[in-house]
Chain A
Amino acid sequence: DVKVTQSSRYLVKRTGEKVFLECVQDMDHENMFWYRQDPGLGLRLIYFSYDVKMKEKGDIPEGYSVSREKKERFSLILESASTNQTSMYLCASSPSGGMNTEAFFGQGTRLTVV
């Protein structure tokens, strides 16, 4: 089975802290994604990576950066956490090469910035 693992289920950080959210997948997928999930807004794409060291901005990249040094690992970085970044963060991966490919999701990290 495909497994996408996020390092924390719950995280509490202080305003201004640098925050790292880690995601690892074990199926050799080329594509990895970070989404933010908020009630009434659904899932919004923050960043997308289609290969090691390659990334594209999604719909809401402001205040975030990403790192993909190895194929299996995709990190989301909040350079200076703010209270409006309190949210659920979902990581996903998918194989490349087709539009019909299924995206596999991690269990999410609920981040609270105080």
Chain B
Amino acid sequence: AQTVTQSQPEMSVQEAETVTLSCTYDTSESDYYLFWYKQPPSRQMILVIRQEAYKQQNATENRFSVNFQKAAKSFSLKISDSQLGDAAMYFCASNFGNEKLTFGTGTRLTIIP
């Protein structure tokens, strides 16, 4: 079975500090994409960052970066200089080589002012 696991149901971080959200997955596919989605209290799910499994270089989008370890099947999200607007549920997901997304159970991130 192809699965995505997020082992941290809740995380908190001081404003302006750095936080890392963990994600592991299991698949026998060799080519796939990994994604981090953010769901703020307004519920609108938006894409934060994506990574192709064939690329060794870790993806970066402004304050958001990933640590992708293909052999370990690990895909963590690092948020630098945390801001109050970063408070949300964060979901790790993969398409595992097709066009359907499989999601993890989510991590609720709280920003402490």
Binding site for B on A (CB under 8 A): 31, 33, 35, 40-45, 48, 50, 58, 88, 90, 92, 94, 96, 99-103, 105, 107-108
Contact = CB atoms under 8 A, between A and B. Distances in A.
B86 interface: no
Nearest to B105: A42
B91 interface: yes
B95 A99 contact: yes
A105 B33 contact: no
A58 B99 contact: no
Most chain A beta-carbon neighbours within 10 Å: one of B6, B42, B97, B106: B106
Contacts, number: 54
Contact of A42 (B33, B50, B91, B95): B91
Q: What bracket does the count of chain B residues touching chain A fall in?
A: 20 to 34
B45 A105 contact: yes
Interface of B: 4, 6, 9, 31-33, 42-47, 50, 52, 91, 93, 95, 97-106
Nearest to A30: B99
Nearest to B101: A103
A31 B100 CA distance: 9
Given A42-B105, A105-B44, A94 B52 contact: no
* Shortest beta-carbon contacts, A-B, top 7: A105-B45, A42-B105, A43-B103, A108-B43, A42-B103, A102-B47, A99-B33
Contact of A101 (B6, B42, B99, B104): B99
Contacts of A48: 99-100
Contact of B43 (A41, A50, A92, A107): A107
A96 B99 contact: yes
A105 to B, nearest CB: 4
Contacts of B6: 42
Contacts of B52: 100
A94 B50 contact: no
8 contacts: A35-B103, A42-B4, A42-B104, A43-B91, A58-B100, A90-B45, A99-B97, A100-B33
